[in-house]
Chains A and B, each alone.
Chain A
């Protein structure tokens, strides 16, 4: 057992960080926020921790705490600035933010170490520590997928105008999701810096975004367990079979993501749902009572229901 663990520790660590980053993207998407800022805040987390510990000699715990506070502040500010943006415009602005962080990683030598990066970051967290962080994050995400909060998130994602007409403060909910997403991205960066003890601009490249999105999509975009499943499948099994730096990793990840997006929209986490008999019945729409037992004297089940053309939705809030 111990031999197996030490033999695979690198892969396990990769899986944990990938799952954290995927969870970060997920919490934005599930609230209907098309944001990819996660990778930017991953950089903020990693460089912030690296700078405070390796360069300034702080302990890992206070460094991580300060970095998380900075992340909250920065992301809240960014959320305020981007508050009016929706959909692709927001996606574009957040991708621009990621690109800016990448430029900053190369250019801001005195903090990031420039192209050479930061060395000698203390490995204080360890695999166990990162696993605990991930477990905590997944627990919060699992709890907020149920009950009133879960319903609110689904409503936000499916129909923003309806959400606001049912009392949801859409802008505020989006800001909360954005900040929570940023914090998870930052935690992924803090974990990665501590696990690798080295962080360079190479660690912040395009492939990081690809891996996170692949883990999320393959694992399951809408279920709290998706990032974990995807992280394990990708960073662990795939790395173990392909090798970490396999030339073809980018091809395998990309191809699998497209296939899953087209054929399995709920990812691997959706498979279990398909097998759940309760869900099956619900999906088939078999009512528990008689179909449409309607008020007196009105012929109930006459209409065709779902395939009737529905008028186009009105203008949204943000037109």
Chain B
């Protein structure tokens, strides 16, 4: 089985700062992968490299077996790589439904008249899947944080991506909201969506993911079965050293 997304020896240097220093990893279809690491370990830079917002200093990115290292962010999106950002990025001035339509309208399939209709249907289905269809005509800014996040996930999955990258989707959330989002991700996993969940809280991903990558100082520290990997002394040390005590 080929990997949906693969990084080969990725290096991202900003001036003298080595944000990512030689990371290789492969994301297998149908799995919920988690990428954890203390703050500043280079997690967001890895996601930005995958979604082509950051150009690596060295290394290659493969999407579905094709080299996309030189492609633009809009191209990888059209080829099936969707992502969310750390902060909520909903467009003010558009309703919830219009925001979700943004997720499908730029896809090649939406070019024809019939394609546009199918895309709109897909957007409505995504609204239902994320349980926000009754809020379709509402301005998103007025909604609770957790609901806004679900609208964003609806936008990301509406176009049926091959892979979904989630950059700290529960950062700054209350316990209740974390549970809410955790349930959503669990359902997506059960539906067979390939995902990469970025998180600095090891505890949050342990019950949720089926494959764990641990990043520290821009390098992969460990990878494999979540529970076993989290128990490794090196991983424990990396998190304890920065006062992130896992369960």
- Chain A interface residues toward B at CB < 8 A: 148, 151-152, 154-155, 158-159, 161-170, 282-296, 298-306, 308-317
Contacts and interface: CB of A to CB of B under 8 A. Distances in A.
B44 to A, nearest CB: 6
Pairs A-B, 9 closest by C-beta atoms: A285-B142, A167-B106, A289-B134, A164-B73, A167-B77, A298-B180, A310-B87, A303-B144, A305-B144
Interface in B153-181: 155, 167-168, 171-174, 176-177, 179-180
A315 B44 CA distance: 10
Which of A152, A161, A167, A314 has its CB near the most chain B CB atoms (within 10 A)? A167
Contact of A166 (B77, B93, B142, B147): B77
A116 B44 CA distance: 60
13 contacts: A148-B116, A151-B102, A166-B106, A282-B138, A287-B138, A289-B135, A292-B143, A300-B180, A301-B144, A303-B174, A303-B177, A304-B145, A311-B171
Contact of B72 (A148, A169, A287): A169
B87 A152 contact: no
Contacts of B110: 148
Contacts of A287: 134-135, 138, 142-143
Contacts of B148: 305
A308 B145 contact: yes
B91 A154 contact: yes
A81 to B, nearest CB: 19
Given A151-B91, A310-B88, 13 more contacts: A151-B101, A165-B53, A165-B85, A285-B141, A290-B134, A291-B143, A294-B147, A295-B131, A299-B176, A302-B177, A303-B146, A305-B148, A314-B48
Contacts of B221: none
A165 B165 CA distance: 11
B137 A164 contact: no
Nearest to B133: A289
A137 to B, nearest CB: 23
B227 interface: no
The winner among B131, B142, B167 for most chain A CB atoms within 10 A is B142
A319 to B, nearest CB: 8
A316 B53 CA distance: 7
A16 B235 CA distance: 69
Q: Which of B136, B173, B180, B184 has the most CB of A within 10 A?
A: B180
Contact of B87 (A169, A288, A311, A317): A311
A169 B74 contact: yes
A306 B88 CA distance: 10
Nearest to A148: B105
B60 interface: no
B98 A151 contact: yes
Contacts of B176: 298-299, 302-303
Interface string B81-96: 0010111110111110
B139 to A, nearest CB: 5
Interface in B170-214: 171-174, 176-177, 179-180, 183-184
Q: Name the residue in A161, A164, A296, A300 with the highest tally of chain B Cβ atoms < 10 Å from its Cβ.
A: A164
A278 to B, nearest CB: 9
A151 B103 contact: no
B74 to A, nearest CB: 5
A151 B94 contact: yes
Contacts of A167: 74, 77-78, 106-107
B73 A317 contact: yes
Contacts of A309: 172
B132 to A, nearest CB: 9
A291 to B, nearest CB: 8
B223 interface: no
A300 B147 contact: yes
A299 to B, nearest CB: 5
Given A165-B83, A287-B142, A300-B144, A315 B48 contact: yes
A131 to B, nearest CB: 31
Nearest to A288: B137
A294 B145 contact: no
Nearest to A173: B74
A313 B91 contact: no
Contact of A314 (B44, B72, B74): B44
B146 to A, nearest CB: 6
Given A166-B102, A298-B179, A315-B54, A292 B146 contact: yes
Contacts of A169: 72, 74
